Each structure stands twice: as structure tokens, then as C-alpha cells.
């Protein structure tokens, strides 16, 4: 009986350890807000119209813009800006705002391989 209790305790401890490690691993893989914003920027093809680093193209230059992007991204704007309301969530929009503000700073993420867990290039 004593041994069984001991084994149960050990199993619980092991379970907690594994869960803790998995959580830490996932956190270690997540990029910072600007990085996740860059990921979304590429993934949703924003760059196709606004330029690779938001310097403008068929759409206006929006590098440096902040939280005010929420409305245009959610509902669309004018003739050319599609509505992304059903595709992106608030966190992704906030991350993209952080990304746009990071452009031309030393922390600007410039990777292209957004599909990689930790983009290498
Ligand atoms: C098909 C081309 C296209 C794509 C794709 C696109 N945009 Fe746009 N976007 C535009 C155009 C054109 C405008 C200008 C609309 C207007 O003012 O008439 C615009 C406007 C905006 C504005 C408002 C800028 C301002 O100062 O008024 C923001 C913010 C923006 N886009 C962000 C994004 C983000 C973020 C994405 C990706 C999720 C994206 N856009 C994808 C074409 C595009």
C-alpha cells in the first residue's frame, strides 16, 4: 500500500514535470509581438499590396502605423482594402500594429519563412 502511494506520487510529479516542460517549450517557440505580427503580415498577404516592409505598393505605405489599423483591417477600406474581419483575430491585428511600429527600428523582424515555427530566414 505504501509503495503504491509512493508510485502514484511519483507518477503525478512526472506528469507535472512533462506538462511544465511542454508549456515552457511552446513559450520558447513563440515569437515576440512584432515577430508574430510579421508572421501574420506575410501569411495574410498584406505585403502583396502594401510592400514587403509596408513601404507602399498598390496600397498605401503604412509602416509606423499603430492600433488605428484595427478598423481598416477588420472592415476593409475604400476600393482596394479587403475586409479581414472573419480571418484575423484581435491579437493578430494588435501584433501587426506592433510589427508596423517596429519597422526601421533595430528590432524589426525581417524573416520571410512565416510558416516555420521559428523562422530561420
Ligand atoms: C488587395 C490589396 C490589399 C491587401 C491584400 C491589403 N491591403 Fe490594406 N489597403 C489596400 C488599399 C488599396 C488601401 C487604401 C484604401 C483607401 O484608403 O481607399 C489599404 C488601406 C489599408 C489601411 C489603412 C491605411 C490608412 O492610413 O488609411 C491599413 C491599416 C491596411 N490597409 C492594412 C492592411 C493589412 C494589415 C493587411 C493584411 C491583413 C492589408 N492591408 C492587406 C490594399 C490592400
Pocket perturbation via mutation, ligand 1, pick of 34, 43, 72, 79 by most ligand atoms within 8 A of CB: 72
pTM of the model as a whole: 0.83
Q: How remote is the CA of residue 120 from the centroid of ligand 1, in Å? A: 27
- pLDDT per position as a tens digit, 41-95: 999 999 999 999 999 999 999 999 999 999 999 999 999 999 999 999 999 999 9
| Contacts (Cβ under 8 Å, ≥6 apart) of 93 | 69, 70, 73, 74
Q: How remote is the CA of residue 79 from the centroid of ligand 1, in Å? A: 10
Q: Does the 32-121 domain belong in CATH 1.10.760.10?
A: yes
Asked if 77 and 83 count as a contact pair (C-beta separation under 8 A), the reply is no
The domains of the chain are located at 1-30, 32-121
Q: How remote is the CA of residue 115 from the centroid of ligand 1, in Å? A: 22
Q: How far apart are CA 6 and CA 10, in angstroms?
A: 6
- pLDDT per position as a tens digit, 59-70: 999 999 999 999
CA contacts within 13 A on the Cβ side of 43: 18
Amino acid at each position: 500500500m505504501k509503495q503504491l502511494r509512493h508510485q502514484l506520487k511519483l507518477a503525478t510529479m512526472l506528469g507535472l514535470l512533462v506538462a511544465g516542460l511542454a508549456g515552457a517549450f511552446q513559450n520558447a517557440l513563440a515569437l515576440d509581438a512584432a515577430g508574430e505580427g510579421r508572421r501574420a503580415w506575410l501569411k495574410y498577404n498584406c505585403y502583396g499590396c502594401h510592400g514587403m516592409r509596408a513601404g507602399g505598393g498598390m496600397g498605401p505605405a503604412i509602416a509606423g502605423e499603430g492600433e488605428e489599423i484595427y478598423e481598416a483591417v477588420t472592415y476593409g477600406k475604400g476600393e482596394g482594402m479587403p475586409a479581414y474581419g472573419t480571418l484575423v483575430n484581435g491579437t493578430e491585428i494588435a501584433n501587426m500594429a506592433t510589427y508596423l511600429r517596429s519597422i526601421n527600428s533595430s528590432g524589426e523582424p525581417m524573416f520571410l519563412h512565416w510558416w516555420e515555427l521559428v523562422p530561420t530566414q
